[in-house]
Amino acid sequence: MYAFGENGRCTIFLDVVYKSYGRLKMGILNKLFGNTKKPEGFWGKLMVEGMNRGHAPLADWGMSFFGDVRPKSILDCGCGGGRNVAELLKRYPQAEVTGLDYSVVSVKKSEEVNIDAVRNGRCRIVQGDVSALPFADASFDLVSAFETVYFWPGPDRSFAEVFRVLRTGGVFMVVNEADGKNKADEKWTSIIDGMKIYGKEELERFLRDAGFTHIETYRNEGKHWLTVRAVK
């Protein structure tokens, strides 16, 4: 998302797989783990299914920090398998929700999961690149990024794109299950091509450079989860 993201997702689900199938040939593991960034084909479908289940606790924890927002238009960058799009539709019944992902497999799955909302016009799923968002300036009140910024190309450019499509007063939420302080997470950056774990300070810098001024950070220190809330 991008799938995991290039709009993206990761470690809870992957850790289960890694521990359960650690004796399998690395070639098979690499096929699965290689689909975290941009799910494709058979292995990508497995990854998307697993992410929908495995990342729900993290996503719900992150959403608890969204605050008193009443968005009419929401963008979920790196929507993956669409579970979080469905949750946003449920939590904000007055809002229209757009999911964006780099992966064709993720886009298809997200549409399937949210087919009723797609049909009634409350939801749309778009294939696209977060570094060049296919939306007009000031299009959204809320932008979310669950388990995906690890894979964003040119983080400075991507964060600037989020700032551009947010309306004044809009909120950008970044929710990661890796906060850069857990040594055990380093195995993922060695296994998964293109993955980069950012800590609190780096994320805050990206946000400030993009133009955000009001930034709050929340951590679950026991699990090394991290949520960053920024207001335009």
- List domains and CATH numbers for the chain: 11-231 (3.40.50.150)
CA–CA separation, 230 and 208 (whole Å): 9
Place of tokens 């669950």: 146
Residue ranges of the chain whose pLDDT lies below 50: 1-14, 16-18, 20-26, 35, 42
Q: Using CA of residue 19, residue 47, residue 4, residue 170, what is the dihedral sign?
A: negative
Neighbours of 184 (CB within 10 A): 10
Q: Could you tell me which of 134, 212, 165 has the C-alpha nearest to residue 71?
A: 165
Place of tokens 């499509």: 165
The model carries a pTM of: 0.82
Q: For the residues of 140-176, what is the DSSP string, one character each? A: EEEEEEES-GGG-SSHHHHHHHHHHHEEEEEEEEEEE
Torsion from C-alpha of 76, 80, 81, 86, nearest 10 degrees: -10
pLDDT at 23: 46
pLDDT tens-digit map of 24-82: 444 555 555 554 555 555 455 556 666 666 679 999 999 999 999 999 999 999 998 99
Q: For the residues of 74-88, what is the DSSP string, one character each? A: EEEET-TTSHHHHHH
